[in-house]
Structures are given as C-alpha cells and as structure tokens.
Amino acid sequence: MIAEQIIHSLLLALHNIALVGCAAAPFYNRNLVTQRAQYGPRLHYELYKVVEYTLQGNAPYCLVFIALLFATGIGMPLNYFAFHGALRQLHPVAWAAVGLKLSSVFGMMFIMVMIFFKLNPRLKEIFARFEAGQKPAPELEQEFFKIRARRKALCETCLWFALGVLVFSAFIAFQV
C-alpha cells in the first residue's frame, strides 16, 4: 500500500533526524567541554559564561529530539497496525535490538532529567554569584567544578547511550 509506505517513510525520516540529534548533542557538548578543559580548573568568567549558556541552551533541543524519537518509534508499528490489523512479526534479534534501544533511550532520559532538573539549575545558581574580573569564593568555585565534573561524566555516558540507539536501530529490521 503506497499510503502506508509514504507514512512509514516520513516517520522513519523524522526518526532518523531525532536519532542524529540525540547523538549529536552529547557529542558536541563533549567536544566543547574538552576544549574548555585546556584552561584548567580555574574560573575564566567570560569563557564559562559562553560554555554554560551553550550547554544549558541545548536542553530544549534534547527534549524535543527524545520526544520525536518516542513519537516516531511508536508511530511506525502503529502505522503497520493501522493498515494490516496486526503488529509486524519480528525476528528475535530484532526484538533484542528493540529492547536494547529502548533501554538506551530510557538511560538517556534518566541522565537528561538529572542534568536538566538537578545539576544545571544548581550550576546556574552558582554561576549567577560569580562576577567578571573578580575571584570567586573558593567553596563556590570548588562546588561549581565538582558539579561540572559530574555533568561531564553523565554526558559521556549519555553519548554511549546515544551511540547504542544508533547501532541498535540498524538491527530492528533484521530478518531471516
């Protein structure tokens, strides 16, 4: 059925865009943080202002990509069901890929919730107390770098989950 194929193709295209977005955000964030690290564990206000606004500004994009990933991921089997009255039969390898992909997506979501709703607000609060040209209070600077290190580690894990989503997606179409 051509209508089914057109709908599936549109859903798959949007799903692939969301997959790339999910992988690109942690990859580019990691690159930005790695480049920033060359300045050492000392606060450079202007640099950190740009880095923090960039990293925290990516949050809405990540949430949109995850929502799009879910919507299209659910939409494709529902599209098949709408035209055939049953869900498509999958090979056990494909079912394993679906399970691993969903586990990776849920892992990414958990990390994003931790970063966006716990770590980023605290970083924003601390950074608001810093001023250009002035040395920050040592305890605030130490807490700032401790939270940033935690966020960096979580982003590294998120990158691996994103790569997992990309790899496992390829095996969902597995057939014998």
Q: What is the pLDDT of residues 14-45, one digit of tens each?
A: 999 998 888 887 788 888 888 888 887 777 88
Structure tokens at 151: 């966020």
Question: Which range of residues forms the domain containing residue 28?
Answer: 2-170
The single-letter DSSP state of residue 87 is P
Percentage of residues of the chain with pLDDT beyond 90: 48
Q: What is the pTM of this model?
A: 0.83
Provide the pLDDT for residue 34.
82
Cβ contact 22:162 at 8 Å: yes
* Burial call 61-76: b when 16+ CB within 10 Å, e when fewer: ebeebbebbeebbebb
Give 15-35 as a DSSP string: HHHHHHHHHHHHHHHHHHHHH
Provide the pLDDT for residue 15.
93
d(CA 129, CA 132): 10
Residue 175 falls inside a structural domain: no
d(CA 168, CA 176): 17
Provide the pLDDT for residue 75.
93
- pLDDT at residue 176 is higher than 80: no
d(CA 19, CA 13): 10
pLDDT of 120-163, one tens digit each?
A: 999 999 999 998 888 889 999 899 989 989 998 998 898 899 89
Give the chain's end-to-end CA distance (angstroms, integer): 23
Amino acid, single-letter form, for residue 40: G
The CA angle 171-175-176, to the nearest 5 degrees, is 135
- pLDDT at residue 114 is higher than 90: yes
Which of the four pLDDT bands, split at 50, 70 and 90, describes residue 103? Answer: very high
Amino acid, single-letter form, for residue 156: E
Look over the chain and give the mean of its residue pLDDT values, rounded to a whole number.
89
Residue 6 falls inside a structural domain: yes
Which of the four pLDDT bands, split at 50, 70 and 90, describes residue 93? Answer: very high
Task: Let me know how long the chain is.
Answer: 176
Residue 41 falls inside a structural domain: yes
Mean pLDDT along residues 100-127: 92
Phi first, then psi, for residue 8 (nearest 5°) are -60, -45
Q: 2-36 vs 45-57: helix axis angle to the nearest 10?
A: 160
Residue 164 falls inside a structural domain: yes
Residue 11 falls inside a structural domain: yes
Which of the four pLDDT bands, split at 50, 70 and 90, describes residue 61? Answer: confident
Residue 176 falls inside a structural domain: no
Which of 33-37, 88-92, 139-143, 166-170 has the least mean pLDDT?
33-37
Number of domains within the chain: 1
